[in-house]
Structure 1
Amino acid sequence: MKFRYAMVCSSNQNRSMEAHALLKRQGFDVASYGTGAHVKLPGPSLREPNVYEFGTPYKQMFEELRRKDPELYKRNGILPMLKRNSAVKLAPQRWQDNAADGVFDVVFSFEEKVFDMVVEDLHSRDHVLMKSVLVINLEVKDNHEEAAAGARLALDLCQEIEATESESWEDSVDELVAAFEAKHRRKLLYTISFY
């Protein structure tokens, strides 16, 4: 694989990690991030989420929630999600705090407000490399079924990007996006930013 990808979602680590897991299994160079202030996982009610700091190991979250209410967190899919996440990487990372992780060629977000945050963050950095990065928003509802479908769509688009000439991908991005939108009947937001 010739490109490096980042999957970014808000704070619950479902959509970005589903895409990260699928792309990693397919051999892509991929990382995943959240943009929120904390990792928020559903709790017993909307007013009682489980809140963790970025960097808290997924296994620790899994064990704590399994002790609290194993039936609830199994039923709502949180325990299986945390188990999947821990097989992909140690702990959630925050996009804004991990600029030193390297340079990405393509960054996917799964909701427009995250797309805006990523683009704003990239624009506020010093552009020392003047290396382009394609930022794409693929709108995906935040539930386990939609996250799985969104991951497959992200994989499809990544495969199309990989099939382009690495030197001229910027010239063909409009055609790639138009073909993807026509094939999947999904509208994408995208822009090119710089490192």
Structure 2
Amino acid sequence: MSLSPLRVAVVCWNNQNQSMEAHRVLNKRGFSVQSFGITPHVKLPGPAPNKPNVYDFKTTYDEMYNDLITKDKEFYTQNGVLYMLDRNKSIKLRPERSQDCKDVFDLIITCEERIYDQVVEDLNSREQETCQPVHVVNMDIRDNQEDAIIRAFLICELCQCIQRSEDMENEIDQLLQKLEKKRGQAFLHTVCFY
């Protein structure tokens, strides 16, 4: 069993739904966790598919929440966006971009293959300083509340298995294979270095 706590990051597009639900679950289970988005701006559903609400990453969850209430409280309550923002602001102040973070993690979990590719590319473009490994694992999560909740518990199960392992570096592939068989969830996995 690992003596040091597992340092985990979860990355989705906007640091709103999938990464924040996983952040909430992992935080409640005592993990050292941070969550991030990867896009240049935060986009939330708007009144039409071609009219999203766009925010800067410096905008707090509370500011987004209040903005949407003034725009159409009933609409954003019905589509679940206000609930999501209310949950998010209870976890942290504002969304964050993974590219802006210089913290070191043991495990980075992405919520879609395109995000996985971008995270790996970003990590590989950085100058290696310590050569400390970071495992990047992708678990596809549909961007809806139900799938985010279900997959957040699967992410937690993965983190618990890794935390209990004797040797993460040598056991992670086997742990991922066991979870793939047990849960029917496919994973992508690579190792990058800081």
Report the TM range for the smaller structure's normalisation. Answer: over 0.9
Residue equivalent to 1:186: 185
Of 70, 74, 78 in structure 2, the residue corresponding to residue 71 of structure 1 is: 74
Structure 1 stretches of 4+ with a deviation exceeding 6 A read none
Equivalent residue number for residue 152 of structure 2:
151
TM-score (norm 1): 0.96
Q: Counterpart in 1 of 2:170?
A: 171
Structure 2: any 5+ residue segments left out of the alignment?
none
| Secondary structure of 1:20's aligned partner | helix
Amino acid at match of 2:10: M
Q: Contact 1:12–1:40 at 8 Å: present in 2 too?
A: no
Q: 1:91 aligns with which of 91, 94, 112?
A: 94
Paired with 1:26 and 1:75, the residues of 2 have a C-alpha distance of: 30
- Residues in 2 aligned to 1:150 and 1:73: alpha-carbon distance in whole angstroms: 24
Matched, 1:138 2:145: no
What is the Cα-based RMSD across aligned positions, in Å?
Answer: 0.9
Measure the CA separation in 2 of the matches of 1:55 and 1:85. Answer: 14
CA distance in 2: counterparts of 1:12 and 1:44, whole angstroms: 21
Gaps of 5+ in 1: none
Q: How does 1:4-23 map to 2 (within 5 A)?
A: 4-11=7-14, 13-23=16-26
Instruction: Look up the match of 1:32.
Output: 35
For the residues of structure 1 that align with 2:133 and 2:26, how far apart are their CA atoms?
Answer: 21
What is the aligned partner in structure 2 of residue 120 from structure 1?
121
Tell me the alpha carbon deviations over residues 40-89 of structure 1, each in whole angstroms, 9 at most, x when there is no partner. Answer: 00000101100000121100100110111011101111000000000000
Tell me the matched-pair count: 191
Aligned AA (1:171) = N
SS at match of 1:92: coil
The 3 A distance-change label for structure 1 pair 12 and 51 is farther
1:126 and 1:3 map into 2 onto residues whose CA distance is 23
> Do the aligned partners of 2:107 and 2:135 also contact (CA within 8 Å) in 1?
yes
Identity rate of aligned residues, in percent?
46
Partner of 1:52: 55
- Between 1:177-186 and 1:8-17, the stretch displaced more is 8-17
**Contact preservation (8 Å) 2:15, 2:95:** no
Q: TM-score, normalised by structure 2?
A: 0.96
- Residue 81 of structure 1 is matched in structure 2 by 84
Structure 1 distance, partners of 2:92, 2:26, is 13
Q: Secondary structure at the match of 1:88?
A: coil
SS in 1 for 2:90: helix
Match for 2:70: what amino acid? R
Equivalents in 2 of 1:98, 1:85: separation in Å? 19
Q: Aligned with 1:161: secondary structure? A: helix
Tell me if the contact between 1:62 and 1:82 (Cα under 8 Å) persists in the aligned partners: yes
Q: CA deviation at 1:13?
A: 1.5
